[in-house]
Amino acid sequence: MKDAHGHGKVIYLTNGHYGSTLLEFRDMDTFKLGQASNTYKLPYSFTGTGHVVFNGAFYYNRAFSGDVIRYDLRHRYVSAWTTLHDALLEEQVHRTQTEVEFAVDESGLWLLYPALDTEGFHQEVILLVHLHPRDLHMVRTFRTGLRRGRYGNTFLVCGVLYAVDSMERRYANVTYAFDTHTLTHTVPSLAFTNTHTHTSQLSYCPLEKKLYAWDNGHQMIYDVIFAY
């Protein structure tokens, strides 16, 4: 990860789907050498791979819960905390993919998670929420057309949520897009290659216009090319 609102070359790393340590590297060269310059021992463990670093804080899902946390990296303390009361999360031992996922794009901080749709037929939906980065207050919530277990990874670019249909098939496709500006759903059919056939983390960095990915133990960076 990189701080999506920062100005430096610092790289941040968590290892595995469960833990309580965040590592900091001065730049890409020291990251490749495995020479961490700083270690943060988190007061509460994380789960999944859907964390982000944004404007000097680490945002993550507390393990075994529907709690999301803002951890201030400069002062090393939990500066904001909220509970997703409507979240529908599987028991930890049965989880097959990240269920609570943060994202950052040009318009700020977002959160994606499964919940019960109380306005419809009480079915499960995947909600996309625009968050206030300081206090984790929900600014606006969108109901997407995604369903748990039917897609691989997601990423958010310029207010548009994209979903890749598989995290393990080598030649996958971006088969879903939801535009938060127009509230429209589309099927873009963009090719996406899982080079090492197990992409467990995928996120967009608006600072560099790149996708950062963790693919079967390999750290990948993809350029994002804008058509207009």
For 40-67, the pLDDT digits (tens) are 999 999 999 999 999 999 999 999 899 9
Return d(Cα 193, Cα 169) in angstroms, integer.
8
**What pLDDT, on a 0 to 100 scale, did the predictor assign at position 146?**
93
Task: Check if the beta carbon of residue 50 is closer than 8 Å to that of residue 38.
Answer: no
Residue 92 reports pLDDT greater than 70: no
Residue 103 reports pLDDT greater than 70: yes
Give 60's Cβ-side CA count (13 Å radius): 28
User: How many residues does the structure list for the chain?
Assistant: 228
Average model confidence (pLDDT) for the chain?
Answer: 91
Residue 173 reports pLDDT greater than 60: yes
**What's the pLDDT band for 150 if we cut at 50, 70, 90?**
confident
CATH code, residues 11-223: 2.120.10
Return d(Cα 196, Cα 194) in angstroms, integer.
6
**What pLDDT, on a 0 to 100 scale, did the predictor assign at position 228?**
66
**What pLDDT, on a 0 to 100 scale, did the predictor assign at position 93?**
41
> Could you read off the pLDDT of 8-29 as tens digits, one per residue?
899 999 988 999 999 999 999 9
The burial class, CB within 10 Å (0-12 / 13-18 / 19+), for 166 is: middle
